[in-house]
Structures are given as C-alpha cells and as structure tokens.
Amino acid sequence: MAQRTVITRSGRFGVVFGLLVCVALLFGLLPGAGVSLPAWAQESDVSASAITQNVSASVSIDNSYTFTGTRTFTIISRNVTVSLNVIVRCWNPFTINATSNLSGNVPVTVTYAFPRREVSMSIAMSGSGGGSQSLGCPLGGGTFIWPVSFTVPVSGQITLTTQGTETGAFVRGSGTLSGQAVIWVTGSAILVTFTYLPAIAKDAGAAGVYWSDDFSSDKGWVNYKCTDPENDLVDCDCKMERTDGRLRITLRDENMRCFVAPPASVQLKEGTFSVEARRRTDNNKVWYGLLFNVSTQLHKQRWALEVRPRGGSGCDSDKGLVWLSYITNGPGTGELWAKCSDSVELGKEEWNKLTATRRGDNVKVFINNKGPIIEKDRSRLKDNPFFNLEVMSEDQVPVVVEFDNFVIQY
C-alpha cells in the first residue's frame, strides 16, 4: 500500500499552548495542567473529602564540624521535596492543601581529621510539613490531574567523638525518607478517586495532561480536507461535525485521506498521545489514524499511527492491521512498519484506543492499552510539535468515523 501523507498547514505558529499556575506557600510550579479527561470520567468514580498517598523524598547531607571530644549535632535539611499527582474535578477556582510526614535512616560516612579516619553510621531523620496552592479552574471545568510538590523540613541528630589529634569531622551521605501525605481541596472542586487509579497513574506519567478534548464543546478543530492517491492537495466531500459529544468525520469520495487538527496552539514534541476511534458504517474498508510530530508542512513531514480494523493486506480475519510510519520529505521518503494484531476491535460500533508515545528517539504504539504493538528508535522529526486525526477511504464509501477522548500528556 502506498505511503500515506497529510496536507500542508500554511503559516508558522509560534504560540505554545500551556496553563501555568502561580504557586502559593510551599508548592512549586504546575507545568501545563491540561483539560478534562472524559474517558476516565465515564467510569464509575468516587469523590473524597481527603485522600492519603504514600510519598518519598531524597535527602543529601554534606556537613563539616570543628570540635574535639564528644559532641551531638542536629542536622537539618529544609530542601526535601515531595511530589505527587492529585485528580480534581473543578468548576471554579479552588485550593489544593496537603500535609506530609517523612522518616527514615540516612547512611553517612564520617571522615575525621587529622589524620584521616572514616566511620560508617546512619542518622534517623524525620519531619512534617505541607502547604496550599490556589488554582483557577480552566474554562468549562472538568477532571484534571494536577502534579503538585511541596517542601518538608526534616532533621536528625548525630553524636561524634574525636580521637587523638583529630580536630573535627566531615559528614556526607544520602538516602530516601518515606511517609504519607494527606490531600484535600477547598473551594469549587472535589477530589476524585477511581477504582482503576493505578491505570491512570501509569498512563499519565509524572507531569500529567497537557491538553485534551472530549468534543462536548467546540475547541476550534480545523478540517484540512484531503489528499488524493497521488498526494496532491484537493478539495473533497469530507464533513467534520460534533455530534453526541464526539467528533464525526464523513468521507464520501473514494481513495482519499481527510485530515482534521486541533487549534494550532496545541503543540507538544514528546509525550503520550491518544484518541479513541470507531467506524459507524458497514463498509469494512476503513482506515483511521493519529498523526504526531507533524510539521507545518503536513504532507511532507509527520509520524502516523494508522489502523484498518478489518485487516486485509494478509491479516487473518480476526486481526486488524496496524501501521506506524513517518515521512521526512513527502511521498516515498521515510519508513513504514506494519503488523497484524488481535488487539484491534473489529466491529462497526467498537472503539479502538490508539496511543503513541514519543520519548527522545523512542516511539511506541499501543492499541487498547496493549503493547507496544510496534516500537522503533528513530531520531526523525522529534522537534515537530503538531497533531492531526485522519480518515482514509478505499473504493467503498461513505466512510464514517467517530473520534472521542483526544488526550495529550507530557
């Protein structure tokens, strides 16, 4: 099958969409909190007045003391940072509050001078602290993962004894303290817990959601229309509409590729990108795809994860066809990998979740959270920040595809 490409996005876009929130008290910056995560909200959820999470933090010690005889010193660290993710549903401004306790033994090496003598010891350290952070709820509200961090002061004591001509000691070491954090919110929000919380944590990563759309409102998607089999830019009968909280694409011309895109301000080079898709007609010759690392010249530079639920191309009848490809300078450039997979749901009304991750040179694709189906290490196009959704027809039309729960994560 010929390499599939996308149309040109005219102009240069320099605005990077992000949500930066000011930090109050002891909290640090929240990098780019995203918008609602409807796929998770569709599941059975439970609100909570407060939640408790296990936390840990690293401690480094590098102290020196001048003394003779036996002395007890208090070692204090005020730079221990606790980080965690909090899931919040908000509708107006709110505040996240947290407290934490930490404790543990930190191994150290005591070097006495002079002459040099080394002794291995451990210091029992503990402490508690917390903070609060006032946040504005993004327009329209929704469910969000908020990465938060705060400082906990910890301290411990060590008793040192010099010998002979020794006039002091150096104390150096590092370790991990552990404990629990209690989190609650005030204002126009609630904490949300899910029965499948570990899956959320796995998908979300440490930094959380950058941007998402459940298509319940108009967030400015653009219909770029089509390219034909010769990869020429053409107008076509491709309709984009929001219906029943989903983005529906209807393509009525044969052998075309139709592309739609979020607003140009939605830009991210590396992370996890996912969308859910399903076909809505009896026509089995249907392709849909998630394009990432796309340049402003869409028909010349992009990565693509594309799926044909009714496999074809040598796949067994119970498997779908999964493609991963990139092009660097238009048709005929780049590489393509294909795999028949039983992770693909084949039915007309069945949803398939398409997920691609990009971390440096590494690219992985997953179908319905299974995989990686395909994994490759390529340095190509990793600085391109745009995205597209794709619908492709063969010789049977119309092709009708619905998309839902488009999520971009750091």
Rounded-to-integer distance, Cα 384 and Cα 120, Å? 51
Percent of the chain with pLDDT over 70: 81
- How many alpha carbons lie under 13 Å from residue 169 in its C-beta half-sphere? 25
Q: What is the pLDDT of residue 234?
A: 80
- Residues 372-396 have a mean pLDDT of 93
Q: What is the pLDDT of residue 14?
A: 30
pLDDT tens-digit profile of 321-344? 999 999 998 778 899 999 999 999
- Residues 101-126 have a mean pLDDT of 94
- Residues 166-191 have a mean pLDDT of 91
Rounded-to-integer distance, Cα 330 and Cα 302, Å? 9
- Ramachandran category for residue 175: left, alpha or beta (phi over 0 → left; psi -120 to 50 → alpha): beta
pLDDT tens-digit profile of 60-102? 999 999 999 999 999 988 767 777 778 888 888 889 998 999 9
- Residues 354-374 have a mean pLDDT of 92
Q: What is the pLDDT of residue 92?
A: 83
Rounded-to-integer distance, Cα 61 and Cα 75, Å? 8
Residues paired with 119 in a beta bridge: 110
In this prediction the pTM is: 0.53
Rounded-to-integer distance, Cα 12 and Cα 282, Å? 40
The helix (H) or strand (E) run that includes residue 200 is helix 197-204
The residue type found at 43 is E
Q: What is the pLDDT of residue 264?
A: 87
Rounded-to-integer distance, Cα 301 and Cα 6, Å? 8
pLDDT for 15 beyond 70 = no
Read off the DSSP letter of residue 21. B
Which pLDDT band holds residue 25 (cuts at 50, 70, 90)? very low
Which pLDDT band holds residue 302 (cuts at 50, 70, 90)? very high
What residues contact 328, with CB distance under 8 A and at least 6 apart?
Answer: 300, 301, 334, 380, 381
